[in-house]
Amino acid sequence: MSDAGGDGQRRGLYPEIAPYDQGWLRVSDLHEIHYEQCGNPERPAALFVHGGPGGGFDAEDRRFFDPDAWRVVLFDQRGAGRSRPHACLEENTTQHLIADMEALRSHLGIERWMLFGGSWGSTLSLAYAQAHPERVTAMVLRGIFLLRRWELDWYYGHGTQGVFPEAADRLHGLVPEGERGDIVGAYHRMVTGKDEGLRRRALEAWSRWEAETSSLYTDPKRVERFSGAEFAEAFAGIELHYFANGGFFPRDGELLLQAGRIASIPGVIVHGRYDMVCPVRNAVDLHAAWPGSELHIVADAGHASREPGTIDCLVRATDRFAGKG
């Protein structure tokens, strides 16, 4: 385990790059997932697995990879980003997403790939790797989220109120006082209820909360983006659908209980010391259960992927798995 500090020369993102291929893959009678490819089609494949669930990917996400060294595949999970239908919760579970990843791999003619995921993207990457370990060459995971009940209670309840009291008061302010012992359940009821005005306010409040608490220094642009109605519809709606259903895992803590299935897969875990969304305990627990991993705790970062120390660790990891040192 290393504690990555702010000393020395830090790596930045690679230059902007356009995709050489993009499209939609029909994965059911209802759903089409959007995907794109960039980089070098002759090089090993890496799959970018976005967070949320419901967050989608954007052009900046391509830049964690050397475009000369990787064939980079990015996709929007069901209901997210440009996948269709937007914000749809029907036929939308972890098991569906794992099957979609396999369908995309087969569609693109890829035998094996590296997985790169942060937050919920780390959750889904772990779930996929445990289901299909023979398809995974390595993993680079950030802001580890294992979707245990205590993690949700900590972030949406007692754990963050002392650090972000103003934001927490806004989040909890929509919830009747008698229901504040289960913020996830209360918000899930609001966003699936018949009061459209309350539903809209709840979607925006839920999404805004995560934007306000994701980085060491709050990013106003992220808050503005997350607060937009279209983004919040998918981000908050899909998150609450998954969280209210325990991530559709059979047991609490399932990903740690099944960690033996990925024991031989090499991996790098990157986690901000001051991550308020996903406590650093998650990364420590995963590292202990996954012998093939190494852990880097970034001393001056929160949860977001684009904080300088986190970028440095992530880019160094993708470079190393590309054979660049």
Q: What is the pLDDT of residues 70-128, one digit of tens each?
A: 999 999 999 999 999 999 999 999 999 999 999 999 999 999 999 999 999 999 999 99
End of a domain among 192, 225, 247?
247
31 pLDDT tier (thresholds 50, 70, 90): very high
Question: Cα–Cα–Cα angle for 221, 222, 224, nearest 5°?
Answer: 65
Residue 188: HSE in the Cβ half-sphere, 13 Å Cα cutoff = 15
71-75 vs 113-118, strand pairing mode: unpaired
- Please check the confidence at residue 201 and state whether its pLDDT lies above 90: yes
User: What separation in angstroms does the CA of 202 have from each of 51, 79, 195, 208, 219?
Assistant: 20, 18, 11, 10, 21
Distance of alpha carbon 90 from alpha carbon 96, whole angstroms? 10
Same domain? For 98 and 170 the reply is: no
Same domain? For 111 and 70 the reply is: yes
Look up tokens 């880097």; give the residue.
Answer: 296
Span 19-37, average pLDDT? 98
Residues 6+ apart with CB under 8 A from 141: 115, 116, 117, 118, 121, 122, 125, 126, 267, 268, 269, 270, 286
Same domain? For 17 and 67 the reply is: yes
Q: Three-state DSSP class for 48?
A: strand
Q: Three-state DSSP class for 36?
A: strand
Same domain? For 212 and 306 the reply is: no
Tokens of 164: 């972000």
21-26 vs 32-39, strand pairing mode: antiparallel
How many separate domains does the chain show? 2
Mean pLDDT (the chain) is 96
Same domain? For 184 and 256 the reply is: no
Span 184-209, average pLDDT? 97
Residue 209, pLDDT score: 96
CATH number of the structural domain spanning residue 306: 3.40.50.1820
* CA torsion through residues 134, 136, 137, 139, sign: negative
Residue 1, pLDDT score: 60
- Please check the confidence at residue 324 and state whether its pLDDT lies above 80: no
Question: Cα–Cα–Cα angle for 288, 292, 293, nearest 5°?
Answer: 60
Same domain? For 164 and 231 the reply is: yes
Residue 325, pLDDT score: 59
Residues labelled as active-site residues = 119, 275, 303
Same domain? For 36 and 128 the reply is: yes
Domain interval for residue 238: 149-247
Tell me the angle at which helices 229-244 and 220-227 cross, rounded to the nearest 10 degrees.
80
Span 127-150, average pLDDT? 98
- Please check the confidence at residue 67 and state whether its pLDDT lies above 70: yes
Same domain? For 56 and 119 the reply is: yes
Tokens of 141: 């995971």
By the 8 A CB rule, do 147 and 246 touch? Answer: yes
User: What separation in angstroms does the CA of 251 have from each of 65, 87, 246?
Assistant: 34, 26, 8
Residue 7, pLDDT score: 55
Q: Write the pLDDT tens digit of every residue in 276-318.
A: 999 999 999 999 999 999 999 999 999 999 999 999 999 999 9
Tokens of 182: 């289960």
By the 8 A CB rule, do 71 and 46 touch? Answer: yes
Residue 3, pLDDT score: 63
Residue 158, pLDDT score: 80
Same domain? For 174 and 260 the reply is: no
End of a domain among 203, 232, 247?
247
Residues 6+ apart with CB under 8 A from 14: 62, 63, 64, 65, 66, 67, 315
Percent of the chain with pLDDT over 90: 94
- Please check the confidence at residue 4 and state whether its pLDDT lies above 90: no
Residue 303, pLDDT score: 97
Same domain? For 121 and 64 the reply is: yes
Same domain? For 284 and 309 the reply is: yes
Instruction: Count the Cβ atoms, other than its own, within 10 Å of residue 130.
Output: 19
End of a domain among 215, 247, 279?
247
Q: Write the pLDDT tens digit of every residue in 207-264.
A: 999 999 999 998 899 999 999 999 999 999 999 999 999 999 999 999 999 999 999 9
Same domain? For 108 and 191 the reply is: no
Tokens of 299: 């001393």
Sheet with 136-142: strands ordered across: 2-4, 293-298, 267-272, 136-142, 113-118, 45-49, 71-75, 32-39, 21-26
Q: DSSP H helical segments within the chain, as ranges? A: 94-107, 120-131, 149-153, 165-173, 183-191, 196-213, 220-227, 229-244, 254-257, 281-289, 308-321
